[in-house]
Amino acid sequence: MLKTNGDRIPVLNMYCGNQSVFICEKAESNVNASYKSITLLFSWCIVPLIHHQLLVQLLSWYTLSQNVNVSAVENNPALHPLWVRCDMSDPAGTAWFGAETVCMGNKVSGVKLHSVTCKGSTVDKKSLITLDELKQEHKRRCHPSSMAIKGSARFLLLGSTVVENTLIKSQSSVTVDFKWSHVESILETPPLSSTATLNIKVACGEMRSPMFEMYRELEFLQTLADGLRTGETEWMEPLETVLPLYLLLKTTKLKSEKDDPIFNSLLERGDLDFVEQLWVRMRKSVISYQDIGDCLKLVTEALRYGDIKPWIHRDSSSSLSKLILQSYHKQIDHVSLTGLTPVHMLLEMGLDKMRKDYINYLIGEELTTLNHLCYYLSTDVDLQEQVIRLRKLHHLLEIILTCSTFLGLPYDRLFLLTQSCLQHYKTYPYDENHEFKLQIKPALISHFYQKEHPVVWGVEVSSGNGAREVRTSLQLSDRPLVDHIIFDTGELYDPAFFSTMVCCGLANFA
């Protein structure tokens, strides 16, 4: 007997969400002693759930334990829902049986009994249950005076794809969930009047991303931050041949007199100052602490002797930028370029440059204002925290550019998504597995889904209200919603659907 959250089991998530449930399943022969049993309001041990007779007995015990007319349990609180795994050996192909209490105020007034039946994959849509048959099944169990019918569907807009029989894997995914009323047929396309919600999960570092070059830059910056934190650094392969230091400085000096972009990127800026251009050169070529120290030593000496008079942005905040400002007045503080000081200085240069890259895009596209970016741009926190916040800002841009480039979402949706992401990351830690939600109009993405097959399609017939509502639902999916049964998929080249039907009945206590 296990206690878990219902949302961890796909087929139960439809009914239980994230509420706690008891799961009863067949015990392994080598069960740990502490795992052997759980006592509810009555004692029962884990037992094999193969025989239908035993299943009925378990559900009967659950129901009796909740019946207020049984004096022994008069004051007992309602139990969590009970769900029992089944092996589909019965004629109906039952995969789950469930029971949950119905309460009126603080008292249990009845029990809902659920059954989940499954069928293996099929490409023959004619073999699927019809909408009329689903309605009749609901009427047979519930005898309602009226019924409501709702449809739902999920389509994959972006994710792992198969091209010429080759799977191209992706950790990113964008799906869209539709909900609508007035369903007319099984597997109908969601109407444009549906409500639609994008579920956006974007992993950083994928080569097809328009942010890939910026990601590589961020990874080098993270390498420096890790080196400061641990004292050890795993250097990346250089992207450019290591230049003699005098030639590196000469090249940077010439570049500072122009406004040419350093590299072709969606976020490129034509106004990189001396320090930013030096960062770009160094991050592509240095492979040791010695390289960093030697390069910065050459630059500081050139500043001290007036060999270069570079231009920098007024709001630059790195240590090297401050030395350059001092050089304008021919008064430069002594800097001891020993130990980890050069790494610290280079990390500051990278943070300064990349923050400006991100600001330039977000402000330029009018997706936010500087006031909303204060948390991400603050230099009042230590360098490690600054890197974390920069990674959050990078992830935000990966999300926005994915929706802009691949989905073509309009400005108002991108603006709303930007605000949602900015607000989220002020409170929560960095997490590429988090799904961001965005309400959209189906017409904006109709060309993506109207000719595609859904990954999940569902219809629900319901009657009753509140706690006494009962539902009969059908889910068609491209993969089984039941994880403890192995289905034979065979060689299927046409879109196939696994069928999962959930029926519900209400048992009232007299």
The secondary element (H helix, E strand) that includes residue 363 is helix 341-364
How far apart CA 370 and CA 356 sit, in angstroms, is 11
How far apart CA 276 and CA 475 sit, in angstroms, is 55
Distances (CA, A) of 468 to 103, 136, 229, 288: 9, 19, 58, 69
Rounded to the nearest 10°, the torsion over CA 243, 246, 250, 251 is 10
Q: What is the pLDDT along the chain (510 residues), one digit of tens a residue?
A: 677 766 667 777 766 666 787 887 766 544 443 333 333 333 333 333 445 667 777 778 888 888 877 756 566 677 888 888 887 778 888 888 888 888 887 788 888 888 898 888 888 888 889 999 999 999 888 888 889 999 999 999 988 766 666 667 788 999 999 999 999 999 999 999 999 999 999 999 998 888 999 999 999 999 999 999 998 888 887 776 655 455 455 654 444 444 433 334 567 788 899 999 999 999 988 989 999 999 999 999 999 998 888 999 988 999 999 999 999 988 888 889 998 999 999 999 999 999 999 999 999 999 999 999 999 999 999 999 999 999 999 999 999 999 999 999 999 999 999 999 999 999 999 999 999 999 999 999 999 998 889 999 999 999 988 778 888 999 999 888 876 666 665 555 567 888 999 998 888 876
Residues 6+ apart with CB under 8 A from 336: none
> Residue 198 in contact with residue 360, Cβ under 8 Å?
no
| Domain ranges within the chain, ordered by starting residue | 2-27+41-146+464-508, 211-252+264-396
Distances (CA, A) of 69 to 81, 338, 505: 20, 82, 20
Instruction: Please state which of the four CATH numbers 3.40.190.10, 1.20.58.730, 1.10.1670.10, 1.25.40.10 is assigned to the domain occupying 211-252+264-396.
Output: 1.20.58.730
> Residue 49 in contact with residue 96, Cβ under 8 Å?
no
